[in-house]
Amino acid sequence: MKKEITLEKAVCIVDGCNKNRKKKSKYCSMHRARLIRTGRLDKKSSIERLFDHIIKLSDGCWEYTAYKNKWGYGRSTYGGKKMLSHRFIYEYYFGEIADGLLICHHCDNPACVNPEHLYLGTPKTNARDMSIRNRCWLQRAKEQGLIFNLEGGIYPDGYKTVR
């Protein structure tokens, strides 16, 4: 007489997760590790992850402290899509950004993601703003009396071309 062996799979108890678990545990290895690491079973939302990397400065700026590109703008992945952090925050608070428009900063801090410091603009308004606030390296160099030849590749100290 043979004994019938029924193997019942032990599955993770988290809704929607059908991964196998160890018999003594309630969770699969992924959920167990997440629970130990973060104290929660669900994944953080994109906005929660972004706010984990923000420090609020005394001047009102919300400085993004994670990865920044070479121009100082925060960048991360949201919903599987790489995006600049100030654009993500603007979309979160104010809605979708139309094609061809930029998100400009009142504070001139590229790492700032404070929605009160952000405004919608065109490349033309951004260039005008840059000129008014004297952020153009060429203007600053001329004011300092530096002589250089752009065509010959001679730039003032500390300046280089961006391609």
Topology of the domain covering 46-132: Homing Intron 3 (I-Ppo) Encoded Endonuclease; Chain A (3.90.75)
- Identify the pLDDT of residue 116: 96
- Identify the pLDDT of residue 163: 47
- Identify the pLDDT of residue 152: 62
Element (H, E) at 37: helix 29-38
CA distance 160 to 111: 21
- Identify the pLDDT of residue 38: 82
Residue-wise pLDDT for 17-67, tens only, equals: 888 888 888 889 888 888 888 888 887 888 888 899 999 999 999 999 999
Residue-wise pLDDT for 108-148, tens only, equals: 899 999 999 999 999 999 888 888 887 776 666 666 666 66
Mean pLDDT of 93-101: 93
* DSSP code of residue 115: G
HSE-up (13 A, CA, CB side) for residue 19: 12
Name the residue ranges covered by the structural domains of the chain: 7-43, 46-132
* DSSP code of residue 10: P
